[in-house]
Amino acid sequence: MGTRHNLSNPTASKGITDNVEDEAVLLSRLQAGDRAAFAYLVELHSPHVYRVALKLLGDEQEAEEVLQETFLRAFEKIGQFEGRARLGTWLYRIATNLALMRLRKRQLPTVPLDEPLSGEDGEEMPRELLDWSQLPEEELLSAEARAEMDAAIAALPETLRSVFVLRDIEGLSTQETADVLGLSVPAVKSRLLRARLALRERLSEYFAERVRQVDHA
pLDDT digits (tens, 9 = 90+) for 179-217: 999 999 999 999 999 999 888 888 887 767 666 665 555
Tens of pLDDT, residue by residue over 62-79, are 999 999 999 999 999 999
C-alpha radius of gyration, the chain, whole number: 20
Alpha helices in 78-125 (DSSP H): 87-106
The whole-angstrom separation of Cα 69 and Cα 54 is 14
The single-letter DSSP state of residue 117 is E
177: pLDDT strictly greater than 80: yes
Using the Cα atoms of residue 168, residue 172, residue 175 and residue 176 in order, give the sign of their dihedral: negative
Highest mean pLDDT among 6-10, 21-25, 106-110, 179-183: 179-183
User: Residue 166 pLDDT more than 90?
Assistant: yes
Spatial neighbors of 80 by CB under 8 A, at least 6 apart, are none
Quick one: which of 206, 175, 180 has its CA closest to 56? 180
> Model pTM?
0.69
Nearest Cα residue to 156 out of 120, 90, 108, 118: 108
Q: What percent of the chain has pLDDT over 70?
A: 69
Q: Which residue has the higher pLDDT, 138 or 75?
A: 75
Please tell me the distance from the alpha carbon of residue 119 to that of residue 123, in angstroms, as a whole number.
5
Query: Does pLDDT of 21 surpass 80?
Result: no
Q: Which domains does the chain have, with CATH numbers?
A: 20-106 (1.10.1740.10), 117-216 (1.10.10.10)
